[in-house]
Amino acid sequence: MAFDVQDFQEEVIRASHQTPVVVDFWAEWCGPCRILGPVLERMAAGADGRWKLAKVDTEAHPDLAAAYGIRGIPDVRLFVDGESVDGFMGALPESAIQRWLDEALPQEGDRERAAELARVEELIAKGEEEAAANALEALLEGTPGDPGLRFRLARLLVFSEPERAMTLTERLEPRGFPPEAVQAVRSLGRLFQEDPSQEEPSPGEDGTEAPHSVAAAVQLLREREFQGALEALISILREEGAKADPRVREACVAIFHHLGQDHPLVARFRGEVSRALYV
């Protein structure tokens, strides 16, 4: 099908920074999906560039369905600037879908905000995170309750200001981003707020501190040395298995959700974590 997604990151996440993308999560066996699909396709063909349609078969892409908390289908999400910002479930009639689009699609007044958010992404890509955080703070002053801005800022600050990140994510309703991503920020914030210097060192065979202590792994994580942190955490899991400090598994899960399902480190280490825990 012409609307079927081949590369979600490219066709949805990146594309939505230019044009809003309506994503239809569906499956062949789903009767309501087969009713809704042609309606969305017809509407997309007549959208005159205001939005694009992308279809995700949840049977072929269960990872994407899990990442966005899809519990039932059809589930339709609107992506803008790389985030899911609105949606509906069920096979709505065309008139109801049009009303939803009219309300959910960005309006002219949103263009400046979208441009500023795009600048934030560019700053993050360049490693200029302080400038990106300042830009988000400025946007948040105008709309302090905006959950998307609060989440973006918390995700950026959690490594340097975990207390602030925890405050930003308090009672944060996950609108436009997976709830697991919010939990990842909060898990990281809790880990970073603990004082590793207060822990009793774990002695190695020669009596010195073991190289793969939880505190050492958390310190690597705080420095964003994700590969080193995962290697240290997995080493602990291999040695201690299910008896390992609960923070070890929590840290691994938080790293995976923070980096995202498509990140190469997640693909590389997810299986190793499972094997270390259950083999």
DSSP assignment letter at 60: T
Backbone angles phi and psi of 75, in degrees to 5: -130, 120
Inter-axis angle of helices 226-240 and 246-259, nearest 10: 150
> What end-to-end distance do the CA atoms of the chain give, in Å?
41
Alpha helix ranges (H) inside the chain: 8, 31-45, 62-67, 94-104, 111-125, 129-142, 147-157, 162-168, 179-193, 214-222, 226-240, 246-259, 264-278
Q: Are 203 and 209 in contact (CB under 8 A)?
A: yes
d(CA 75, CA 56): 10
Task: Provide the whole-model pTM.
Answer: 0.58
Higher-scoring residue by pLDDT: 79, 81: 79
Residues tagged active-site: 30, 33
8 pLDDT exceeds 80? yes
Give 171-191 pLDDT, tens digit per residue.
887 666 788 889 999 999 999
- Kindly report which listed range (23-32, 95-104, 158-167, 169-178) carries the lowest average pLDDT score: 169-178
d(CA 136, CA 116): 9
Give 224-236 pLDDT, tens digit per residue.
999 999 999 999 9
**Chain mean pLDDT for the chain:** 88
